[in-house]
A = this chain, B = another copy of it.
Amino acid sequence: MSHNPFSEFMQRLDAAAADTDALLDGLLTERLVPGELARPARLLEAMRHAAVGGGKRLRPFLLVEAAALFGVPRGQALLAGAALECVHCYSLVHDDLPAMDDDDLRRGRPTVHKAFDEATAILAGDALLTFAFDLMSRAEVHADANVRLQLVSELARAAGIGGMAGGQMLDLAAEGRFEKKKLDEKDVTILQAMKTGALIRFGCRAGAMLGGADVTQSGALDRYGRAIGAAYQIADDLLDESGDPEAMGKAGGKDAARGKATLPALLGAETAKKHLGALVADAQSALEPFGEKAAILKAAARFIAERRT
């Protein structure tokens, strides 16, 4: 462990990102796996555009570092992390579609429907989501089929109607697209816990599953995951209000213009920042059972709250 957990954390975040990118780069090639008949070039290119060569890879990082607390071999955690990242990337592709948030830029590059076309973007998102379950069920993730099944099941629930997809639906509803309804703090908190929280929390829980964590350890990582998931969204919303579009690689202020439901918009930036601070403290406190081993994940909580891009 370095003397400076924050710089050590940044190195590990970069390493997880580089390893995840290399892994997805190698998985998303023309090479077929058993059961596949062909991989059409245009669809493969669109999936690669969405999933290779960019992103902080925060979710795989969390999964890898949570698994590392238990000494899980890095290769296993990276493959599970790549599966999780495929779900995240698919959600961005569909979220950016004209009928959804209608965004032209993502990570400083054209969104998939801009670089290709809408139909290709729809299918690329579908195929990435499907690919996630292919990856997560592979023997290389864990020798025990029960562990892989639990990962598949929890990933499906974190991503589905009761998790991310449901959160996206609530998010669109909050814009007033379907009916006018004012969301209160509790509504917005649930919305965010589903829309962004569920996958982040899953990443932390998945590390515990891979590691054969006991109930206390699982509970600790679950609490940590819930807290940083909520913190991530508040930080993101604060950034959208005040951040630098060029550094973010996407347009700022769009969420407010759309009337998106955010805690900063509802409570004001100062109160939201206090919430954020409390969430980071809770996340760090949740990790006490792991002692010094958890320094990197504690630094991650700080990073999530303080990031500027």
Contacts and interface: CB of A to CB of B under 8 A. Distances in A.
Interface stretch (A52-60, A157-165, A230-238): A157-165
A68 interface: no
Interface string A150-161: 001111111111
A271 interface: no
Contact of A162 (B37, B129, B158, B168): B37
A127 B42 contact: no
A105 interface: no
Interface in A143-177: 145-146, 148-149, 152-163, 165-166, 168-170, 172-173, 177
A161 B193 contact: no
Interface of A: 32-40, 42-44, 47, 90, 94, 97, 99-100, 117-120, 122-123, 125-127, 129-131, 133-134, 137-138, 145-146, 148-149, 152-163, 165-166, 168-170, 172-173, 177-178, 190, 193-194, 198
Contacts of A35: 153-154, 157-158, 162-163
Copies of this chain present: 2
A199 B149 CA distance: 21
A122 B149 contact: no
Given A145-B145, A153-B134, A177-B119, A166 B34 contact: no
Contacts of A159: 130
Nearest to A121: B99
A157 B131 CA distance: 8
B162 A137 contact: no
10 contacts: A35-B158, A38-B170, A40-B161, A40-B170, A42-B178, A43-B169, A127-B165, A127-B166, A134-B157, A149-B149
A157 B35 CA distance: 6
- A interface: dominant SS: helix
B161 A94 contact: no
B36 A162 contact: yes
B118 A134 contact: no
A160 B43 CA distance: 10
Given A43-B166, A169-B40, A160 B131 contact: yes
A3 to B, nearest CB: 39
Contacts of A155: 133
A93 to B, nearest CB: 10
B38 A190 contact: yes
Contacts of A173: 40, 42
CB-CB nearest 3 A-B residue pairs: A36-B162, A35-B157, A99-B118
